[in-house]
Structure 1
Amino acid sequence: MQIAVVEDDDGVGDALVEALGTHGHQAVRMRRGSDLLLGHRGVDAVILDLGLPDADGLQVLRQLRAVSDVPVVILTARDDERSVVRGLRGGADDYLVKPARLAELLARLDVVTQRRRATGPSSAQTVTQGDVVVDLAAREVEVGGAPVSLTAKEFELLEVLVTRPGAAVSRQQLMDAVWGDAYVAISRTLDVHMTGLRAKLGRPGLISTIRGYGYRWGT
């Protein structure tokens, strides 16, 4: 399991990386909240300190949750009830106070990652909506039985939407998933690619706009 260790204290961070490694995990050390927001894709879980040099960890957690549901375990020296409540309500899967026992930390990581896998999105490789068929594995699209040629970015946008049928997907989530930027919520790049995708599909209303928020797949 690849785990992001977001901790600016070198002593604590290096110890966590070493301990996780001895238990078969691949730890990625990050010292700033911005490192996590730009590098969270591809990690299976996050250990997040709240006292970070560039931003409060609770704010980083809120920004992360706007674009990702990766499991997060807060590991911090803050032991007051208000911080615990804010952390859990802000989207953390668990909350531990330093110094935490390694065995307990590993057990809690296992629990939160198993829980997310059990409730994760469908693994279906083909999505059909009317006469539109999206083959996710082959990265191919057919409309009315005829193949449609999409650019790489157009297909990636389509993939994000079709794997969340009926769900509202924000512009920020799309930008992060396709361009890897958790900060950008408004971009002409997204507008241009979305316009091209809709034109190629040729099915008005299949991708609906949610004004001021984002888009939804499905009629």
Structure 2
Amino acid sequence: MSQEPTILLIEDEPEIRRFLRTTLPAHGFRLHETVTGKDGLTEAKARNPDLILLDLGLPDCDGEEVIRQVRAWTDTPIIVLSARAQEQAKVTALDLGADDYVTKPFGVNELLARVRTALRHSARTGDGGEPVFVLGDLKVDCDRRQVFVSEKEVHLTPIEYKLLTTLVRHAGKVLTHRQLLKEVWGPLHVDEGHYLRVYMRQLRNKLERNPAHPRYLVTELGVGYRLRTE
């Protein structure tokens, strides 16, 4: 990753553009702006940014179409910025390939945390991932297929392990129920939400100090799950 990561903002609200034009460069990011989806796609291909901030309600097209077209040729992280607070809008954007979703109005600290997480995940993916993942007292050794909590090995079933390593591979990113079901159980099971609830509960019981208030395996209500990295 370059010392000053490049962010492409595709947003038609002048207030949001002014806010981010001041905020992002002050925190070490280079910012390029476009107002329409068409111009955003052109800039994305020309500049190959490190991350895209995308509004869904664009004047010329829906942001969901921008996600589809961007994902046809690049894995560049996409964080959606939108006033659409409905859960289905979030699920649709994430299922199409967005990495995260921030609902307007948002705080600068929240946005910066999401940006840093998305960039870290992108860097790990580009480097082929990390064989050993460490987060607090949780350690996942992917080469040896071992999991430790407070240096004590925790024995997981094959499905529990696959679910955990899927979340590790996308650490910090929201994964929808359908994404997790498809990756862990296969495409024929994307509507079997009870599978996911049962195994997530089992994972929390084995990995979390307080499963009722998880530190690592957090729920994004109505959307899916995230392995927290902040």
- TM-score class, shorter-chain normalisation, is 0.5 to 0.7
Shift of 1:55: 0.5
In 1, Cα distance between equivalents of 2:125 and 2:25: 27
In 2, Cα distance between equivalents of 1:59 and 1:92: 11
Q: CA RMSD in A?
A: 1.2
Q: Deviations over 1:110-169 (max 9, x none)?
A: 1111111111166xxxxxxxxxxxxxxxxxxxxxxxxxxxxxxxxxxxxxxxxxxxxxxx
Q: Which amino acid aligns with 1:45?
A: L
Percent of residue pairs bearing the same amino acid type:
39
In 2, Cα distance between equivalents of 1:48 and 1:14: 15
Q: Which amino acid aligns with 1:33?
A: G
Matched residue count? 122
Shift of 1:68: 1.1
Corresponding position of 2:33: 29
Structure 2 residue 114 is the aligned partner of structure 1 residue 84: no
Select the residue among 64, 69, 72 that pairs with 1:66: 72
Q: Which runs of 4 or more aligned residues in structure 1 lie more than 4 Å from their structure 2 counterparts after TM superposition?
A: none
Q: Which amino acid aligns with 2:54?
A: L
Structure 2 residue 4 is the aligned partner of structure 1 residue 17: no
Q: Is the 8 A contact 1:5 1:17 kept in 2?
A: no
In 1, Cα distance between equivalents of 2:77 and 2:70: 11
Q: Deviations over 1:42-90 (max 9, x none)?
A: 3110110000011000111111100111101001000001100001101
In 1, Cα distance between equivalents of 2:25 and 2:10: 15
* TM-score using structure 1 length: 0.54
Structure 2 residue 101 is the aligned partner of structure 1 residue 95: yes
Corresponding position of 1:113: 119
Select the residue among 54, 58, 83 that pairs with 1:52: 58
Shift of 1:18: 1.1
In 2, Cα distance between equivalents of 1:84 and 1:46: 16
Q: Deviations over 1:172-209 (max 9, x none)?
A: xxxxxxxxxxxxxxxxxxxxxxxxxxxxxxxxxxxxxx
Runs of 5+ consecutive residues of structure 2 not aligned to the other structure? 129-230
In 1, Cα distance between equivalents of 2:121 and 2:91: 20
In 2, Cα distance between equivalents of 1:121 and 1:81: 33
**Higher Cα Rg: structure 1 or 2?**
1
